[in-house]
Amino acid sequence: MKPGEDLSPTSWVKKDQPTDVSTMAHYKDGGYEDVLEERRHTSDLKYAMKSRPDVPRYKYCKPRTPAEIKTQVLNSDRLRYTIEKISDATKTSKEEIMKEAGSILDDMAHNLTVGVVRSVAFFLIKVFKSIFSRIYVNKEGIQMLHRLLHEYPVLLMPTHRSYLDFLLVSYIFYEYDLPLPIIATAMDFQGMKFFSWVIRQVGGFYIRRAFGSDTLYWAIFTEYVQTHLRNGDAPIEFFVEGTRSRTAKSYQPKIGMLSASLESYFKAELPDVMVVPISISYDRILEETIYAYELLGIPKPKESTAGLLKARGVLSNDYGSVHFHIDNPISIRLFSSNKIDRVQHALEPRYINNLTAQEKDVMVHLARHIVRQQQGHMVISPWALMASVLMQSREGILLRQLIKEVEWLKRQTSNLGAYVNWPGNTSSESVVQHYLSLHMNVISISETGLIELKLVLPSHMKKPVADEVMLNAATNLILSSYRNQLLHVFVQVGMLSLVVNTSPQVTMTMEDLYQGYVFLETLLQKEFVFLQGETKKEFEWAVLTLNHSGALAIKDNHVLVKQSINKYTTFFSQMFEPFLLGYWVLCQYFLSLPGDIQGKPLPRKPKNFTKEAQKVALRLLQENVIRHYEILSLDLLGNGLLALVEMGCMYKDKRWVSHSVTCHTRSVTRHT
């Protein structure tokens, strides 16, 4: 050591201010590193022009241009077969159908171009630096991808909470010299000429949201996805939730895209396919306000270029940090082994679409599994904890109290195995204050230090919403979306707590407890993602967790109800109460429906059901019967409706028909 060097005990600390919130982001906890750190000190232009020499490529890949890909798709066996069939069935000439196919493909195809990618990188890095303080990436995941992309075709499946998701994926892949993914994008963007063009150039390809029976479209789409997978031109990215989750909870997964891709594996065109779930956690979601209004049924503004540019005002805000977690790959071979028999496809040409029932089943399983794996690696922001506490403090809460509650909740969250992004070197007070400052748009602090919700006026609404209830609801929904980020962690113990809390008995057998749990899981099946066939296991895990943390008193295989109603179970119950209230409102509304001559309610469309149920909810709120604004959420009401259909309380024919809901209403009521 040179003489004169600082010998203080903290000489290894670069900036010796343990309580400064801005330093807390320097840590590399859990193997995360901040991508923006280096970018803040180097030239963006140089960055955009950097050479990418070691980009891994699938070992069997034969390089081709986007134009060659198109030609190969149009000349594929699958397409020729489909065109032949359509031509025979409709008596249209093959040339005509081919022409149509060509234009469908033109609408669909990406045009990944390095030049544009570089310009976009240049632009994106500027935006990211201005709106985010940190973008954390798990380095291990990057290294894993470098190896994996060489060995197998890869499907990237990020969580979908924001438009920024796919930009972030591409940006990070650019940053770490990984091949840029091609991205399945919904048609929503096509209205915006310039952005639509840009997205194509950076690897986006467009698919219609619904094309159920259009065999030509399905064939082109399948072949287009599969040809990329087979040749491994690039990793393919799509969102298993289908669309951006407006509630920040995971949506029920869709399997369309998954089945189009995995058919290639089922038919042994590939040695394996690797699914890499990616969990992207935001401190603050860019579209939070828009989502809230959408959930209340105010139509979302069409994504026009002008609209996005106007959103630049939003871009000058601080959106905290992002955690980008690349998860361990799921090998489709291992996941599906013993569940399917690929031999079944040996007797037919492989371009004929015919997946077996087991294969479809495996994909439903897989889709749920992927969502659960995504959830497992979501990083819980302290703000999500704060939001959960604030949601349960309708009259406002003092900072001191808030800190205390949040610290308690943090412990519970960790005990359930979730990773909370809580800097260890900083006082809880500064952490809480930091996050309050990030979310001042929904929070106000009174002179007495009482922290409570604030009303918001969305910037893009010309006229303010007249009804005060709706306004409050919007703010509330924003806050609830952050609480929602915590719910997947607590859903099992939450359901258990609900059963205990609503029990009229003194003791409860484990069987009764389980039955109550099963009922709630069935009821909430559209709200949360449960794994098929794992109910018992998860129930047992929840019992064990609550029992060990002292929340659930069990003696001689019986739950002692009185001892089990405590802070834990009450808090956990209340987290889920709004959903049950919403469903209760839904049931009330169904029961109030006038019947026809035979006393049966008249059929209607589901959309109308939820709309009208929302009116009932609104009235209840106005009359102050219920104080949970979330019952106004169309998403919640819609999920409830779907669950009731699944449970057999409602059924659908060509239109939807409501049916008796009496018996279950009673049970729903019981739980609230």
Query: What residues line the site for other proteins (CB under 8 A)?
Result: 60, 268-272, 341-343, 345-346, 349-350
Residue 113 Cβ, how far from other proteins at the closest point, in Å? 28
Closer CB to other proteins, residue 110 or residue 228?
228
Residue 120 Cβ, how far from other proteins at the closest point, in Å? 35
d(CA 155, CA 170): 14
Residue 216 Cβ, how far from other proteins at the closest point, in Å? 23
Closer CB to other proteins, residue 152 or residue 579?
152
Is the four-CA dihedral 595, 599, 605, 609 of positive or negative sign? positive
Residue 152 Cβ, how far from other proteins at the closest point, in Å? 9
Distances (CA, A) of 40 to 142, 320, 323, 423: 21, 16, 18, 22
Residue 330 Cβ, how far from other proteins at the closest point, in Å? 15
Instruction: Tokens for 481, please give them.
Output: 């979306």
Instruction: Tokens for 517, please give them.
Output: 């749990």
d(CA 322, CA 418): 16
**Range list of H helices, 419-467:** 428-438
d(CA 515, CA 372): 23
Closer CB to other proteins, residue 346 or residue 544?
346
Closer CB to other proteins, residue 345 or residue 368?
345
Judge contact between 243 and 160, C-beta under 8 A: yes
d(CA 17, CA 28): 17
The DSSP line for 539-593 is HHHHHHHHHHTTSS-EETTEEEHHHH-SHHHHHHHHHHHHHHHHHHHHHHHHHTS
Residue whose C-alpha is closest to residue 259's, from 231, 228, 218 = 218
Residue whose C-alpha is closest to residue 443's, from 393, 381, 378 = 393
Closer CB to other proteins, residue 80 or residue 454?
80
d(CA 41, CA 49): 16
Residue 268 Cβ, how far from other proteins at the closest point, in Å? 4
Closer CB to other proteins, residue 273 or residue 508?
273
Closer CB to other proteins, residue 58 or residue 217?
58
CB 320: neighbour CB atoms within 10 A? 22
Closer CB to other proteins, residue 251 or residue 351?
351
Residue 351 Cβ, how far from other proteins at the closest point, in Å? 9
Residue 271 Cβ, how far from other proteins at the closest point, in Å? 4
Closer CB to other proteins, residue 363 or residue 402?
363
Closer CB to other proteins, residue 224 or residue 266?
266
Residue keyed to tokens 């189009």: 260
Residue whose C-alpha is closest to residue 137's, from 181, 168, 180, 96 = 168
Closer CB to other proteins, residue 84 or residue 318?
84
Residue whose C-alpha is closest to residue 527's, from 501, 499, 491 = 491
Closer CB to other proteins, residue 268 or residue 544?
268
Residue 269 Cβ, how far from other proteins at the closest point, in Å? 5
d(CA 579, CA 672): 10
Residue 329 Cβ, how far from other proteins at the closest point, in Å? 13
Burial of 28 (C-beta count, 10 Å sphere; 0-12/13-18/19+): exposed
Residue 98 Cβ, how far from other proteins at the closest point, in Å? 22
Closer CB to other proteins, residue 268 or residue 531?
268
Residue 59 Cβ, how far from other proteins at the closest point, in Å? 9
Composition of the chain by helix, strand, coil, percent to 5: 55, 10, 35
Q: How far apart are the first and last CA of the chain?
A: 68
d(CA 478, CA 483): 9
- Which helix H or strand E contains 415, and what residues bound it? helix 399-415
Residue 87 Cβ, how far from other proteins at the closest point, in Å? 23
Pairing relationship of beta strands 443-445 and 450-453 according to DSSP bridges: antiparallel
d(CA 51, CA 49): 6
